[in-house]
Amino acid sequence: DAKTTQPPSMDCAEGRAANLPCNHSTISGNEYVYWYRQIHSQGPQYIIHGLKNNETNEMASLIITEDRKSSTLILPHATLRDTAVYYCIVRGSRGSTLGRLYFGRGTQLTVWP
Amino acid sequence: DAGVIQSPRHEVTEMGQEVTLRCKPISGHNSLFWYRQTMMRGLELLIYFNNNVPIDDSGMPEDRFSAKMPNASFSTLKIQPSEPRDSAVYFCASSLGATHSGGYTFGSGTRLTVV
């Protein structure tokens, strides 16, 4: 039931910015966009989330388009430890979807030296 | 805070045996989620609780699976009888409310192998 589309893989040079795109064209007005990542053999880790405004924290920046149909996660200075699968998720907000996080296949980001 | 604690980390069992996975959420979090991850199906939500009450168990694959949350600091996921196709990594996550806009914290998972 994933409502997002992401490229299956991307790579990035260490020290450069990694820009991970996500399409969520069916997003509803009150649904948040969440980003998580999963490093091999570990549980998913929360990165950032947003509704309509761009957001920034110590890990990343999230850019959401004005029509909210797509977003981009930016890791400003990628390191080797950022190699992981990155999931873009639209969080259910009503009724039976309340609280659900639908994880799609995500994007495998590989940071190379 | 020690984070979400799951046990055991690894479990190998024979087909037909009962398996119990355990989870201790972060203190103060009142929502708890059980996920399963396989190569074929990715991460799937099995069930989630809010204030110890099961809210949505539509992801539980069949009657062999059951989950309980007897109190705010403990939850179990039981499989009886287990089958080889249940082999997967099972994750528990907790949050401050299912509707809270903050993120969910996941445990390190239990890798289950049913032979």
Which is it for the CA torsion A110, B2, B6, B10, positive or negative?
Answer: positive
Report which of residues A10 and A95 the model is more confident about. Answer: A10
Q: Would you state the pLDDT for residue B102? A: 65
Look at residue B100 and tell me whether its pLDDT is greater than 60.
Answer: no
CB B59 within 8 A of CB A92: no
B9 DSSP assignment: S
Interface of B to A at Cβ within 8 Å reads 4, 31, 33, 35, 42-45, 48, 50, 55-56, 58, 91, 93, 98-99, 101-109
Say whether pLDDT at B42 is over 60: yes
Interatomic CA distance for residues A89 and B73, integer angstroms: 27
Place of tokens 């991460």: B43
- Pick among B104, B108, B110 to test the A interface (most A CBs inside 10 A): B104
The whole-number pLDDT of residue B58 equals 87
For residue B98, which residues of chain A lie inside 8 Å, CB to CB? Answer: 98-99
Q: How far is CA A32 from the centre of its chain?
A: 11
pLDDT in tens, A59-90: 999 999 999 999 999 999 999 999 999 999 98
pLDDT at position A55: 95
Q: Is the pLDDT of residue A99 over 90?
A: no
B92: Cβ contacts below 8 Å, ≥ 6 apart:
B4, B6, B21, B23, B25, B32, B33, B34, B35, B75, B77, B106, B107
Residue A98 pLDDT > 60, yes or no?
A: no
Of A1-10, B26-35, B78-87, B106-115, which range is least confident?
A1-10
Q: What is the residue type of A8? A: P
